[in-house]
Structure formats: C-alpha cells, structure tokens
C-alpha cells in the first residue's frame, strides 16, 4: 500500500547483521512525516526511521490512508502509536502491519497536555500494568516487533527502581525492545520543548537497564549529537536514537551506514540529494497536489555549516516563491551554493523576492 517513487540508483552490497535498532531517527511530531523520511532515506539506507506519533483515535475515526501511507523506499520504517486502550491499540497495530510497517512502537514518553488529556504518552509510565496490557493486545495480533519508547521517570519519581520495574513489567507482556529517552518527563509546568531540555539527562540509568536486562534490546535517546557520542553509547547499550540533531544536521546520516552498519557509505553528493528531492517534489505534486514547500522544509539543514547555506535555505523557505515550480526554486537556490560574501548574497536574494 506504500507508493514507490524513483530514487537515484545505488548498490547495496551486503545486508548487515547488526540489530535494526542500532541507529535510528526519532519519531518527531510534524517533522518526521513521509517526506522527511524519504529525504533521510536518501542519506542512509540502514538507519531505522520512525513516523510521527499517530493516535489510535486518528486511525479509528480519521482518514487512515492520510496517516499511514508511506513511500516504499522508506523501509525499515516503524509506526509510532499513541493510545492507552488495548483494543484500540490492537486495531491500530494491525492496521500498521497491514500497511507494511516493520515495527509498531508505543509512545510512553510524550508529556504534552493534549496527550495527557488523552491519558497516554509519558503518563502511562505511572501504570505499567496497563502498558503491559496494551503491549500484549498488540503482540497478540501482529508478527512485527512491538516496541516501547519511554522516559526514565515522571515528575519527581527519579529512582532507578521505577524505570526498572516499568521495563520488567512491560517486557513480561512480550515487548523485547525499549527505547529510553534518558530524562524524566515533568508532567506539570514544563512545555514539551522544555521537557526535552530541562530535566537532566541520566544516561547511566539506561546503561544499568541493559545490565539488568541483558536479553532485551535497549536503545538510548536524548542529547546525542555526534558520531563519537553514538560510538561511546554503543559500548553500553544496543542502539542510539537521534532526534533534533538528525533533523537540523541531516548530512550526519551519510556516515552511519558505514560507521555503524559496516556497509558502503552513500555515494550521493549534497547536490544529487537536492536534485533527487526536486524529482520527488514533482512526483508528489503530480500524485496528489502536494506543494513543494511541504517537502522542502525538511531538507533545510542539508547544507548545515557550509558556506552560503543561510541564503540557500532562505530561497527554499521563501513564501513568495510558493507559486513557482520546484525546479525553478532549485535553480534560484543554486546561486547561493558555496557563496562566500554575504553582501553579494543578500543583494541577489533581494532579486529573488
């Protein structure tokens, strides 16, 4: 049921034998949609990609195709679900499997008010038996792995025993993979953004989970921003998940197939990736009228740290260019690739608008 779009030709030499969870890009609401994942897949063939959270309500009462459709090239791709009713989660998990997702993940880490009102996300950590029931309901109806993403604690509950007992209880229901955001969620008084920054990171608790549950797959998440840091975490746990850094600095992904999966690195240049995205924008527009800027917004980090990147980015995010076809926007953006002098760039940019 996923759609196929052309991708630049590449050769995959061998299939690695590493855990699929060794390196992944985090689920991020409004960010890791299918367009973003298509872009990330151009940069890395083996990194596991997660969807944004999709609530069970959206699937039982909403447009299933809109929430679940994805491009065939995105594999391996995991569907993250938000919900707390075992029956609804079972239905949603089955739908996810039928649509072709490689994994179903349950969100037990989101602290937003909206999610708390729905009594799911991070507040589920207070009711491990309910999470176990949810996991069991899903495991009973799908063959793909059912995994859980969670925090190390909620509010002032910061003992190791709390997260250990959560993992133990949920593992007994059939979950073998835990992705742990290594900070507490504070359910009162902090915004979701602050909840990704303010509660301190405590990586050592996640390492201890791996020691205490050697048969489970434990992946770590939170504040990891470099290949060096990923390597050092992999000394202690089975996998690393990156969120914001992968989004803001996506070229990092091009190192991962080689560094972490022992596979050939991507041979595509930034320019080839950008052009492949232009092809994709044209296809998406032809398929369902998707505007190019809904796709281009995810690739604004492609030239992160390079000369002229600011001006290149300004072209791809310029509202005045929305009526133009993407290939024209692309050719305007090329004027700024490698540009050195900001004055020269700004005056050219004035002409763009």
Ligand X SMILES: Cc1cc2nc3c(=O)[nH]c(=O)nc-3n(C[C@H](O)[C@H](O)[C@H](O)COP(=O)(O)O)c2cc1C
Buried b or exposed e, range 144-182, using 16+ CB within 10 angstroms: bbbbbbbbbbbbeebeeebbbebbbbbbebebebbbbbb
CB of 226 to ligand X, least distance (A): 11
CB of 247 to ligand X, least distance (A): 7
Q: Cα separation of 179 and 159, whole Å?
A: 18
Q: Are 99 and 126 in contact (CB under 8 A)?
A: no
Q: Which is nearer to ligand X, 111 or 308 (CB)?
A: 111
Q: Which is nearer to ligand X, 20 or 308 (CB)?
A: 20
CB of 35 to ligand X, least distance (A): 15
Q: Are 150 and 128 in contact (CB under 8 A)?
A: no
Classified as helix, coil or strand, 50 is: strand
Which tokens sit at 185? 């969620």
Q: Which is nearer to ligand X, 233 or 330 (CB)?
A: 233
Binding site for ligand X (CB under 6 A): 26-29, 31, 52-53, 80, 107, 109-110, 149, 181, 196, 221-224, 242-245
Task: Calculate helix-pair angle for 326-334, 270-288, nearest 10 degrees.
Answer: 160
CB of 160 to ligand X, least distance (A): 20
Q: CB under 8 Å to 47, separation ≥6 — which residues?
A: 23, 24, 25, 40, 253, 256, 257
Q: Which is nearer to ligand X, 247 or 330 (CB)?
A: 247
Q: Which is nearer to ligand X, 117 or 327 (CB)?
A: 117
Q: Which is nearer to ligand X, 190 or 335 (CB)?
A: 190
Active-site hit among 36, 108, 110, 123: 110
Which tokens sit at 299? 């690739």
Write the Ramachandran bin of 189: left for phi over 0, alpha for psi from -120 to 50, otherwise beta: left
Residue 300: which of 351, 336, 260, 264 has the closest Cα?
336
The helix or strand, by DSSP H or E, that contains position 163, with its residue range, turns out to be: helix 160-172
Write the Ramachandran bin of 207: left for phi over 0, alpha for psi from -120 to 50, otherwise beta: alpha
CB of 113 to ligand X, least distance (A): 14
CB of 22 to ligand X, least distance (A): 15
Which tokens sit at 225? 């921003």
Q: Are 53 and 107 in contact (CB under 8 A)?
A: yes
The answer to whether 110 is a known catalytic residue is yes
Residue nearest to ligand X (CB): 243
- Which residues are catalytically annotated? 110
């Amino acid at each position: 049921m996923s759609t196929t779009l052309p991708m630049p030709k590449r050769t995959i030499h061998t299939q690695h034998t590493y855990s699929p969870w060794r390196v992944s890009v985090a689920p991020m609401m409004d960010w890791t949609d299918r367009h973003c994942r298509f872009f990330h897949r151009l940069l890395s063939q083996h990194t596991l990609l997660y969807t944004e959270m999709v609530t069970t309500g959206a699937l039982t009462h909403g447009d299933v195709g809109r929430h679940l459709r994805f491009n065939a090239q995105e594999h391996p791709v995991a569907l993250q679900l938000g919900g707390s009713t075992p029956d609804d989660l079972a239905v949603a998990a089955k739908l996810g499997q039928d649509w072709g997702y490689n994994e179903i993940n349950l969100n037990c880490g989101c602290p937003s008010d909206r999610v708390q009102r729905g009594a799911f996300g991070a507040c589920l950590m207070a009711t491990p038996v309910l999470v176990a029931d949810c996991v069991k309901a899903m495991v009973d109806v799908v063959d793909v792995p059912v995994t859980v993403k969670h925090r190390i604690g909620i509010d002032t509950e910061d003992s190791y025993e709390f997260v250990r007992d959560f993992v133990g209880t949920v593992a007994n229901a059939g979950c073998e993979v835990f992705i742990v955001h290594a900070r507490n969620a504070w359910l009162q008084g902090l915004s979701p953004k602050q909840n990704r920054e303010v509660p301190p990171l405590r990586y050592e608790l996640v390492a201890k989970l791996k020691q205490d549950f050697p048969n489970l797959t434990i992946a770590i998440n939170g504040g990891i921003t470099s290949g060096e840091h990923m390597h050092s975490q992999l000394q202690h746990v089975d996998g690393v998940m990156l969120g914001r850094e992968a989004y803001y600095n996506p070229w990092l992904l091009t190192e991962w197939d080689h560094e972490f999966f022992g596979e050939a690195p991507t041979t595509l240049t930034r320019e080839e990736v950008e052009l492949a995205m232009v092809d994709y924008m044209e296809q998406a527009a032809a398929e369902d009228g998707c505007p190019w800027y809904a796709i281009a917004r995810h690739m604004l980090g492609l030239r992160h740290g390079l000369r002229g990147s600011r001006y290149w980015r300004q072209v791809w995010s310029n509202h005045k260019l929305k009526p133009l076809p993407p290939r024209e926007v692309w050719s305007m953006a090329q004027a700024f690739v490698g540009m050195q002098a900001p004055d020269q760039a700004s005056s050219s940019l004035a002409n763009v608008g």
